[in-house]
Structure 1
Amino acid sequence: MLEQSRGALIYALMFRENVLLYPINPKQLASYRESYPGGGKSNPTDAMYLARMLCERITTLKAWRPDDEDTRLIANLSQQRRKIVDGQTKLRQQLMAVLKSYFPVVLELFGKQHQLPLLLSVLSRWPDPRELRRADRRLIRRVLCDHGVRNEQQQKEIIERIRAAHLLTRDHALITPSAMAAKLLASQIKEAKKAIEEFDAAIDKAMNQHPDAHLFTNLRGAGYVLAPRLLCAFGSQRDRWEDADQLASFSGIAPVTKQSGKQRHVHRRFACPKYLRQTFHEFAECARRYCPWSKARYDMLRDRGMK
Structure 2
Amino acid sequence: MLFVGDDWAEGHHDVEVADEAGKVLKRARLADGTAGIARFHELVGRYAGEDAEPGDVLVCIEVDRGPWVRALVAAGYRVFGVDPKQAARHREILGSSGAKSDKGDAHALADMVRTRRHQLRQVAADSEVAEAVKVVTRAHQTLIWERTRHMLRLRVALRDYFPAALAAYKPLGLTSEAVLRLLVKAPTPQAAAKLTTGQITACLKGRRDVPAKAAAIQEVLRAEHLGLAPLVTTAYAATVKSLAAIITVLNAEIKTLQSEVEAHFGRHPDAEIILSQPGMGAILGARVLAEFGDAQGRYASAKARKNYAGTSPITRQSGRTRVVQARFVHNDRLVDALHMQASCAILHDPHVRAYYDQLKTRDISHNAALRQVGNRLVGILHGCLKTHTTYDQATAWSHHHHDLAA
- TM surpasses 0.5: yes
Name the amino acid aligned to 2:304.
Q
1:247 Cα shift? Answer: 0.9
For structure 2, the 5+ residue unaligned runs are: 1-59, 366-406
Partners of 1:98 and 1:178 within 8 A in 2: yes
User: Which structure features the higher share of helix residues?
Assistant: 1
Shift, 1:70, TM fit: 0.5
Mapping for residues 1-307 of structure 1, pairs under 5 Å? 1-6=60-65, 10-16=66-72, 17-35=75-93, 36-114=95-173, 116-135=176-195, 138-145=198-205, 147-151=207-211, 155-156=214-215, 158-163=217-222, 165-307=223-365
CA contact (8 A) 2:82 2:120 kept: no
In structure 2, what residue type is equivalent to 1:58?
A: R
Q: Secondary structure at the match of 2:97?
A: coil
Q: Distance in 2 between matches of 1:155 and 1:280?
A: 39
CA contact (8 A) 1:127 1:179 kept: yes
Give % identity: 26
Considering fraction of residues, name the structure with more strand: 2
Mean Cα displacement is larger for which, 133-142 or 254-263?
133-142
**Distance in 2 separating the partners of 1:275 and 1:156:** 41
CA contact (8 A) 1:91 1:189 kept: yes
Measure the CA separation in 2 of the matches of 1:131 and 1:261: 69
Kept in 2, the 8 Å contact 1:106–1:119? The answer is no
**Count of aligned pairs:** 302
Inter-partner Cα distance in structure 2 for 1:288 and 1:79: 26
Q: 1:293 to 1:138 in 2, by over 3 A?
A: closer
**Change in 2 beyond 3 A, CA 1:149/1:186:** farther
SS in 1 for 2:227: coil
TM-score by length of 1: 0.90
What SS class does the counterpart of residue 219 from structure 1 fall into? Answer: coil
8 Å CA contact retained: 1:111, 1:119: no
Q: Tell me the distance in 2 between the aligned counterparts of 1:223 and 1:230.
A: 10
Change in 2 beyond 3 A, CA 1:299/1:59 = same
Relative contact order, CA 8 A, sep 6+: which one is greater? 1
Which segments of 5 or more consecutive residues in structure 1 lack a partner in the other structure? none
**AA matched with 1:110:** Y
TM-score calculated relative to the size of structure 2: 0.69
